[in-house]
Amino acid sequence: KISTETQIARLLGATPLQIELTLVRITDHVSRNTSADHMAAFYRPWSDVSTEQFDGFIITGAPVEHLPYEDVRYWPELRAILDWTQTHVHRCFTICWAAQAALFHFHGVPKRDLPCKAFGVFPHRNFAPTSPYLRGFSDAFDVPVSRWTEACPSALADAKGLQVLAGSVEAGACLVDDSAHRTRHMFNHLEYDTDTRSEERR
């Protein structure tokens, strides 16, 4: 969590906007990889912020890709958070597993296991160069990828109201616009630092 929050905060801090960052955690979930002191000092449980309004809300991934969504202990609360974003958040951005989970929740798009982990930096194509979300991107750009699953491509293609904004021949869909839910879904990791992948397990 600490490296991820630093990466995202750095990107947000590079914009001309003045941003007040609130770190939020699942209410009753105890993190196994981050100290309790850090969580207590910097994070607020979602139950404490559920009556507040946010301009933007980022939901990051979790190392639970191999589990069915219903077997994730905090799945009911995550579903409640996703529904809450529709009334309390102006725009939402989901990353990696959270993007797959949101597409399953809102559109019934299942995830599927990959034959091996998609791990590396892959060339991607900009499918929507006129989109405000890809303004300034070139026609081709490289994106770090690190995941064991993907949103089922056929179900993603059949779902109504979704537009794949960027993708890769090798790694599949990368960024999906869900305009009806005011949400962008990012399956990969533009926020990664140069050495992030080298610190992960393949």
Contact 153, 167 (CB under 8 A): no
C-alpha span between 168 and 147 (Å, rounded) = 14
C-alpha span between 173 and 162 (Å, rounded) = 12
Q: How confident is the model at residue 84 (pLDDT cuts 50, 70, 90)?
A: very high
13, 25, 190 from 92: Cα distances, Å: 18, 16, 16
Parallel/antiparallel/unpaired status of strands 162-168 and 111-126: antiparallel
Whether the per-residue pLDDT at 197 is higher than 80: the answer is no
What pLDDT, on a 0 to 100 scale, did the predictor assign at position 200? 62
Share of residues in the chain with pLDDT > 90 (%): 73
What pLDDT, on a 0 to 100 scale, did the predictor assign at position 121? 94
Q: Alpha helix (H) ranges present in the chain?
A: 2-13, 36-42, 46-49, 75-88, 97-107, 153-158
Q: Catalytic site residues?
A: 96, 189, 191
| Average pLDDT of span 141-164 | 96
Q: Which residue has the higher pLDDT, 192 or 78?
A: 78
C-alpha span between 98 and 78 (Å, rounded) = 9
What pLDDT, on a 0 to 100 scale, did the predictor assign at position 13? 85
C-alpha span between 174 and 99 (Å, rounded) = 10
Whether the per-residue pLDDT at 198 is higher than 90: the answer is no
Q: What is the pTM of this model?
A: 0.89
The label of the residue with tokens 């990828």 reads 145
Q: How confident is the model at residue 192 (pLDDT cuts 50, 70, 90)?
A: confident
C-alpha span between 8 and 49 (Å, rounded) = 20
Whether the per-residue pLDDT at 196 is higher than 70: the answer is no
pLDDT for 31-81, tens place per residue? 666 677 767 788 899 999 999 999 999 999 888 999 999 999 999 999 999
